[in-house]
Amino acid sequence: MKNIAIFASGAGSNAQKIIDHFRNSSIARVSMILCNKPEAGVLNIAQQEGIPSVLIEKELFFRTDHYIKLLQDAATDLVVLAGFLWKVPANLVHAFPDRIINIHPALLPKYGGKGMYGHFVHEAVILAKESESGITIHFVNEKYDDGATILQERCSITPEDTPETLAAKIHLLEHQWYPVIVERLLTS
């Protein structure tokens, strides 16, 4: 049984979809949820699902190997960022080479980088009058939204779309594809 650690900062809808996907799996399970915001909904999900959760302390995260040891002690096979808003420090990236993935709510390399998350991405895409957007699932390296692409899926944008309606389209793609790609990576 492979162990998945999910890092999240928000409501946790992608985390929930991954938990649901592996609920009765013989392949993998979500063994830990790590979060940097005490008020985040993902912590409620962890509690409801009986999954151990860890509230990340900023200084420990950026200046020590504390969380690397925690993940290694839990025999973590894959680290999944699901709306995690901090840049992953280089020591963590190096400790889990090609075993940390992220999902971005746009077609990278466009609309990525520091500060480009959630509604900021959707606003920028609509302001630029793009005809399509989508998701990018990618490996994590030392730069924001820069690692090798694993999968991109697209959706069209209509003139009537708002950041909110585009976000809904993007969420559908995220929920459809992220659990599938997590499983694919764990079985390939």
The 10 Å CB-count burial string (b at 16+, else e) for 75-111 is ebbbbbbbbbeeebbeebbebbeebbbbbbbbbbeeb
Three-state secondary structure call for residue 81: strand
Looking at residue 166, its pLDDT comes to 98
Among residues 21, 66, 94, 104, the one annotated as catalytic is: 104
pLDDT in tens, 118-149: 999 999 999 999 999 999 999 999 999 999 99
For residue 153, the cross-strand partners are 135
Cβ 163 vs Cβ 133: under 8 Å: no
Superfamily of domain 2-106+135-153+177-187: Formyl transferase, N-terminal domain (3.40.50.170)
Q: What is the pLDDT of residue 129?
A: 97
Q: What percent of the chain has pLDDT over 70?
A: 100
Q: Is 104 a catalytic residue?
A: yes
The residue among 135, 131, 107, 121 whose CA lies nearest residue 164 is 121
Domain boundaries, the chain: 2-106+135-153+177-187
Tens-digit pLDDT profile for residues 42-76 = 999 999 999 999 999 999 999 999 999 999 999 99
Could you list the residues known to form a binding site, using ranges: 12-14, 63, 102
